[in-house]
Each structure stands twice: as C-alpha cells, then as structure tokens.
Amino acid sequence: MRRLLIAGNWKMNMNLSSAKSLAEELKKETQGITTIDVAACPPFVYLTAVTEILAGSKVGVGAQNGYFEKEGAFTGEVSMGMIREIGCQYVILGHSERRHVLHESSEEVNLKTHAALAQGLTPIVCVGELLAEREAGVTDAVIRRQFDGSFSGLTAEQMKKTVIAYEPVWAIGTGKVATPEQAEEVHVGIRNLITERYGKEVADIVRIQYGGSVKAENAKEILGKPNVDGALVGGASLKIAPFMGIIQAAD
Ligand code: PGA
C-alpha cells in the first residue's frame, strides 16, 4: 500500500510571522494523523524557522527548489546539501511555474533530482501539460517527454524514493480542477511509464500526487482514485482550515 503524501506548496507567499503561526497550527492540528505523510514547503527564507517548529511533529518540511551543484560561485542559488542540513526531507522540483515562468528545462530538473537524491532528500518532481497541449491531444507525449527528461539515469532504487506530482498546468491556481477520471487516466499513464522503464515492483511503490486546485471539497473524490497517492496543494495550503480539510480527507 502506498502511503498518501499531502504537501503544501506555499509558493512566494506568507511573511515570517504568518509562516511561523501556520507551522505552529500544523504541528498541533496534525498530532492525531497516523496513516498519511504531510509536508509543508515554505519559501527558502522561512525554512529554518519552520523546520525548527515542526521538528518531531507529523509534518515534514520541503524546499520549493534547489540547485544541482554542491557549492561554489552560483550567486542566488541554494544547494541540496544546505536544504538537507537545516532539516528538510523534501524538495519540489520542476514545478510548472519554474518550467514555464523561469524556463527551467527537464535537463536541469534531472540534474537537480540526482543532486537531491544524493543528499537523501525526497524529490517531488512535477510534470503536467498546458491547456493547449491537452486540447491538441498531446498530453501523453508531453508527460512522457518530461518523465524521460527529468528521470534520466535514475536507478530503480532512486526511482522508488522519488515522488511524482502530476499537475495539469491549466488546473493550477485556476479553480479548474481536473476531474478524478482525468487525473486517474494520466496517473495510470505515468505508472505504466514507470513499469516500462523500471518494472512493476518499482511502479507499485512510486507515489504519484495530483496537484491543481485541490481543496477540502474535492480532495476525497480525487484521492479516492486508486493511482492518486496524495496531493500537492498550493492556495488551499496557506490557511490551516482548508489544508486540514484535505489532510483529514486523506487520512
Ligand atoms: P493550486 O497550486 O493548488 O493553488 O492550484 C498547486 C501547485 O501549483 O502546486
């Protein structure tokens, strides 16, 4: 059985005080959670404060990006080792906002995925098609290209430790959630890809989250699909009540 992972992607939101309050609330409210994994992914500058608050709690912490080089003259970048050192367990990689707004390529996502795994972090690697790509009927091809580019050279053991987030770009922050059937169809496609490349044993272990306008109201239905192993939540993770609604639906 795959353990569901509900991760909150705070994106470039919050300030120090609201980040700390949300972490305190999460620590308290998730005390009784036993059957699923939960994570919060604040902006870099709040990671230390949030990891300190959430240490020993049910909630893991993740960064929203990280660089693939270990150290050196890379102004503005943060290494996977630094992220690990301050107590993070996860790192989101290849989010569509990074791919499309910041022009990050699957080759870079691949280098970052290798670097994250080398540091013992769990990479949450995002894939997903644009609206025009879905309408053109090329969703499968886009996902396959992102999958092969992002996971190139990963061993079976490394693949098992990787989390994939399917996030249709047209559903992110738009309120237009994919139907549970649309999500399940792509998740099955991704699991088949893993089977093709790594075999069924690995495919059965890898967690595939859905992301894109997940809310307390639609979480149960989406998470009820057999190949949906959690959610990567943006907007609804910024306040305790909606995020707990999703966590409780998953638990
Ligand atoms: P959303 O964002 O839940 O606000 O749609 C999801 C994401 O981008 O990870």
Domains in the chain: ranges and CATH: 5-250 (3.20.20.70)
**Nearest by Cα to 122 from 153, 90, 97, 83:** 90
Ligand 1 center to 64 CA (angstroms)? 12
The residue type at 78: V
Atom 2 of ligand 1, residue of closest alpha carbon: 234
d(CA 83, CA 89): 8
> Which among 65, 176, 213 is the best mutation to test ligand 1's pocket, defined by most ligand atoms within 8 Å of the CB?
213
Ligand 1 center to 222 CA (angstroms)? 14
Polymer length in residues for the chain: 251
Q: Which two tokens stand for residue 197?
A: 């490349």
Q: Provide the b/e sequence for 140-165 (b: ≥16 CB within 10 Å).
A: bebbbebbebbbeebeeebbbbbbbb
Atom 1 of ligand 1, residue of closest alpha carbon: 234
Ligand 1 center to 183 CA (angstroms)? 14
**Nearest by Cα to 237 from 212, 206, 220, 208:** 212
> Ligand 1, closest atom to CA 236?
3
Return the ∠ at Cα 87 (arms to 46 and 215), rounded to 5°.
Answer: 60
DSSP string of the chain, one letter each residue: -PPPEEEEE-TT---HHHHHHHHHHHHHHTTT--SSEEEEE--GGGHHHHHHHHTTSSEEEEES--BSSSSSS-TT--BHHHHHHTT--EEEES-HIIIIIS---HHHHHHHHHHHHHTT-EEEEEE---HHHHHTT-HHHHHHHHHHHHHTT--HHHHHT-EEEE--GGGTTSS-PPPHHHHHHHHHHHHHHHHHHH-HHHHHH-EEEEESS--HHHHHHHHTSTT--EEEESGGGSSHHHHHHHHHHH-
> Which among 92, 233, 238, 239 is the best mutation to test ligand 1's pocket, defined by most ligand atoms within 8 Å of the CB?
233
For ligand 1, residues with CB inside 6 Å are: 9, 167, 172-173, 211-214, 232-236
pLDDT at 1: 82
Ligand 1 center to 172 CA (angstroms)? 5
List residues with catalytic annotation: 95, 167
> Ligand 1, closest atom to CA 171?
5
pLDDT along the chain (251 residues), means of 10: 96 98 98 97 98 98 98 98 98 97 97 98 98 95 97 98 97 90 98 98 98 96 97 98 98 93
Q: Decide: pTM greater than 0.85.
A: yes
> Ligand 1, closest atom to CA 211?
6
The residue type at 120: G
Ligand 1 center to 235 CA (angstroms)? 6
Ligand 1 center to 233 CA (angstroms)? 5
> Ligand 1, closest atom to CA 237?
3
Contact at 8 Å (CB) between 233 and 246? Answer: yes
Q: Which two tokens stand for residue 48?
A: 């230390």
CB count in 10 Å sphere of residue 70:
13
Atom 7 of ligand 1, residue of closest alpha carbon: 234
pLDDT at 42: 98
